[in-house]
Amino acid sequence: MLRKLLQAMGTRHASRSGEMPQSPPKPPADGGISQRLGELPCGIIEEVERGARDACARDPHRAKSHYVAGKEFLAHGDFSAAATELRRAIELDSGQAEFFHDLGIAFRGLGEKRQALAAFERALAIGHGDVSAAYHAGLTHAELGELADAKDCYSLALAFDPLSSAARTDLARLFMDQDNSQAALDLLREAVTRNIADGAVYACLAGLLVRAGEVRAAKDVFRAAIERFPDDAALLVNFGLLWLGQLGDATEAETLFRKAIAIDPESVEAQSNLGLSLQEQGRFDDALRHYEGRLALRPAGVEYRWNRGLLNLIQGNFREGWRDYELRKSRADAGGIHDKFTLPEWDGSPLRGRSILIYGEQGLGDEIMFASCLPEVISDSGSCTIECDARLESLYRRSFPEAKIVARASGRGRDWRTACPELEIQSAIGSLPRFLRPSESDFPAHDGYLVADYPAMARWRARLKGSGPAPIVGLSWRGGTPRTRGALRSLRLDELDQLLGSEGVTFVILQRGLTDDERAQIASRSNVLIPESVADLDDLAALVRAIDLVISVPSTMTHLAGALGRPLWILLSASPEWRYLWRGERMPWYPTATLLRQPRMGEWDTVVRETVGKLQQWKG
């Protein structure tokens, strides 16, 4: 039906897109109606609900009364009661598009996406031009993975209203998901050219450019946007995030966050990121005072507590940091993963033979790092089941033979109560340090807790030593993504020329995803090898185990080498992630690691010179 509407209007179909860094968040399931529900006292909510029921009791046969009651319930998050009242309104009058629209919103809130789609389509059939119904239908199709239908719905919403920034930015995300960045750029630039772009469209365009590696172009987009919308607090926050996360200038970021706060003092995004900008400048006391001040006004503020946790962790205040680190589970970027695990949570009490489920979370490197806690859990529990990234399955089976290793299922839909009824308790792998690593002295002085495949390691060793007697040094210079500040933690290959020129060393390239230009640079060097036949992560572990020394920026490679107990030098920016601590040459997670830090943001030449000097000493 939606496609017929599109064709009737002569709307062209564009391609698709994906999620962009620093772009506006998707609206909640209720369409934003209940955004401030959590701030209302329970007594007020109950009073509103009583009023809605009283209105229907006074006039039970008037469709409008039931519709108004349904909207009241919807506004306060009672989706079930809202659906009941809206259905009653439709029974009395089935010709009102808004009745079906709001019923669709209620169904979305209940997770009944197919019923939501049916309601939105009915709203569109009755009231042609319903932008919100078309948009929310697109959003629902996208959540169901039906991207072609989502594209049609977003296109329809734009046909109804070219000013709909939500439809335009989400359509651009679909294009990006389909690797059609040009279509996404064209869609967003069209709005800018036609002078119909709002701040959200500009922010989405800038985020797309960041994702494409065009950070300077993104900066120009933000400057143009702020010139046009100087009082748009969200734009200022997003521009500040560009300076903080991509350009590495926390001082400029602080200025922009303060401007946003002057416009919207209650903006959680502006206030929490102001704290981060202070933190990035090393002004830890100022950052802590800021978080504590905000928490005094909003004690349940998730972002403030989360940031405070990272602040404590980077300073080595582990006991305090781990408490707030638990807030990651309720942040939006957790994706609701933790809600899918329903066993009682381990509270840190003695396991005493109980059966426990440990499930992986966050990135691959995090799973590897937190796995240092697994030997203790396995030893103390009666049985331990570990759900991990499928890429880690073979490595974990060999490393933790006394545990049951299960590769993570797609969608994480496994019912553990049914699949393993013997399980008594559970823990996310990132929650284990809260009980097992409360201070730096609680980190074990291990020489590796992951075990590579020995025959594969021996084969790699024989191949590498075939190039001569020189020591073998693995090298990786790029890590992360735009979302994880990859540009700040990575080097260009040409910045390592002095290191690669070191005599008496054979370098093995561990960097994945080499560009043609990088391959050309490497081809001119006789002391550099590219191992082309690495089968998987388990084989990569065997290769790393066969190497004498690994030099890398923060990445999965760093965690793999450290967990295997290999000598490891980590090249750090002046603004490292919390796990590398703020200063010092050592990190508690990997005793074999040495940290080489930038003196100031962007000064990789100093780090490279120090690395070259250390390499000469190491060879000797």
pLDDT at 19 over 50: no
List residues bridging with 425 in a β-sheet.
356
How much is the pLDDT for 55? Answer: 52
With the CA atoms of 411, 412, 413 and 415 taken in that order, what torsion angle do they form, in degrees rounded to the nearest 10?
170
* 358 close to 341: Cβ distance less than 8 angstroms: no
Tokens found for residue 360: 């992986």
Look at residue 9 in the predicted model and tell me its pLDDT.
Answer: 43
Residue position matching structure tokens 């309720």: 330
CATH architecture assigned to 337-442: 3-Layer(aba) Sandwich (3.40)
Token look-up 């923060």 returns 554
Per the listing, tokens 């009791």 go with: 57
Least confident of 329-333, 370-374, 469-473: 329-333
User: Do 337-442 and 454-619 agree at the fold level?
Assistant: yes
Contact 180, 16 (CB under 8 A): yes
In the block, tokens 């209620």 appear at 106
pLDDT band at 43 (very low <50, low <70, confident <90, very high): very low
* Amino acid, single-letter form, for residue 324: D
Chain center to CA of 562: 23
List strands edge to edge, sheet with 528-529: 528-529, 506-509, 472-476, 549-552, 568-572, 593-597
> Which contiguous run of DSSP H or E holds residue 386?
strand 383-388
Residue that is written with structure tokens 């709203």 in the block: 123
Residue that the structure tokens 């999620």 belong to: 19
What's the Cα-to-Cα distance from 319 to each of 322, 329, 351, 438, 586, rounded to whole Å? 6, 18, 20, 4, 19
> What DSSP character marks residue 343?
S
| Burial bucket for residue 139 (CB in 10 Å: 0-12, 13-18, 19+) | buried
Report which residue type is found at 243.
Answer: W
Cα–Cα distance for residue pair 553/510, rounded to 1 Å: 11
Determine the average pLDDT of the residues in 506-519.
Answer: 93
As a whole-number percent, the residues of the chain with pLDDT over 70 amount to: 90
Structure confidence at residue 334 as a pLDDT band (50, 70, 90)? confident
What is the pLDDT, as a whole number, of residue 487?
84
Q: Which residues pair with 579 in a beta bridge?
A: none
pLDDT of the residue at 481: 77
Mean pLDDT of the chain: 88
Instruction: Please give the pLDDT value at position 53.
Output: 53
Query: Rounded CA gap, 434 and 324, in Å?
Result: 10
Place of tokens 């006004």: 297
* Lowest pLDDT segment from 6-15, 89-98, 103-112, 223-232: 6-15
C-beta separation of 152 from 134 below 8 A: no
pLDDT of residue 178: 84
Mean pLDDT computed over 347-352: 94
Rounded (10°) angle between helices 199-211 and 233-245: 10
Q: Which tens digit of pLDDT belongs to each residue from 281-309?
A: 999 999 999 999 999 999 889 999 999 99
Q: Domain coordinates of the chain in residue numbers?
A: 337-442, 454-619
Residues with Cβ within 8 Å of residue 249, at least 6 apart in sequence? 243, 601
Rounded CA separation 435/84 (Å): 46
Residue pair 226/262 in contact by the 8 Å Cβ criterion? no
Q: What is the pLDDT of residue 26?
A: 46
Give me the pLDDT at residue 51, please: 54
pLDDT of residue 48: 46
Ranking 18-27, 176-185, 190-199, 443-452 by mean pLDDT, the lowest is 18-27
* Res 76 pLDDT > 90: no
Q: Determine the Cα angle at 20 with ends 17 and 22, to 5°.
A: 155
pLDDT band at 2 (very low <50, low <70, confident <90, very high): low
**What is the mean pLDDT of the segment spanning 575-603?**
94
Name 192's Cβ contacts closer than 8 Å, sequence gap at least 6: 201, 202, 205, 224
H/E segment holding residue 597: strand 593-597
The pLDDT of residue 15 = 31
pLDDT of res. 119: 95
H helices present in 178-283, as ranges: 181-193, 199-211, 215-228, 233-245, 250-263, 268-280
Which alpha helices (DSSP H) does 281-336 contain, by range? 284-297, 302-314, 318-325
Side-chain half-sphere exposure of 102, counting CA atoms within 13 A:
30
What is the Cβ-side half-sphere exposure of residue 600, based on CA atoms within 13 angstroms? Answer: 2
Segment 339-362 mean pLDDT: 93
- The single residue listed with the structure tokens 């469209």 is 201
- Lateral strand order in the sheet of 355-359: 404-407, 383-388, 355-359, 425-428
Structural domain 454-619, CATH architecture: 3-Layer(aba) Sandwich (3.40)
Q: By C-alpha distance, which of 520, 529, 525, 526 is closest to 547? A: 529
Residues 491-527 as b or e (16 or more Cβ within 10 Å = b): bebeebeebbebeebbbbbbbeeeeeebeebbeeeeb
pLDDT band at 539 (very low <50, low <70, confident <90, very high): very high
Query: Which pLDDT does position 59 carry in this prediction?
Result: 58
User: Which of 1-5, 296-300, 443-447, 608-612 shows the lowest per-residue confidence on average (mean pLDDT)?
Assistant: 1-5
**Does residue 11 surpass a pLDDT of 70?**
no
Least confident of 128-132, 263-267, 346-350, 543-547: 128-132
pLDDT tens profile 306-328: 999 999 999 999 999 999 999 99
- Three-state SS for 258? helix
User: Is pLDDT at 330 greater than 60 in this prediction?
Assistant: yes
Question: Is residue 417 within 8 Å of residue 343, measured between CB atoms?
Answer: yes
Residue 28: pLDDT above 60? Answer: no
Residue of 377, 319, 372 lying closest to 587 (CA atoms): 372
Confidence of residue 482 (pLDDT cuts 50, 70, 90): confident
How many helices and strands, by DSSP H and E, does the chain display? 30, 10
For the purposes of burial, counting CB atoms within 10 Å of the CB of 10, is it exposed (0-12), middle (13-18) or buried (19 or more)?
Answer: exposed
Q: Please give the structure tokens belonging to residue 273.
A: 């990121």
Q: Is the pLDDT of residue 77 over 80?
A: yes
Angle between helices 131-143 and 97-110 (to 10 degrees): 30
In sequence order, what are the beta bridge partners of 386? Answer: 358, 405
Cα–Cα distance for residue pair 445/60, rounded to 1 Å: 72
Query: Where does the pLDDT of residue 18 fall: very low under 50, low under 70, confident under 90, or very high at 90 and above?
Result: very low
pLDDT at 54: 56
Amino acid identity, residue 30?
D
Residue 38 has pLDDT above 80, yes or no: no
Alpha-carbon distance of 399 to 542, in angstroms, equals 13
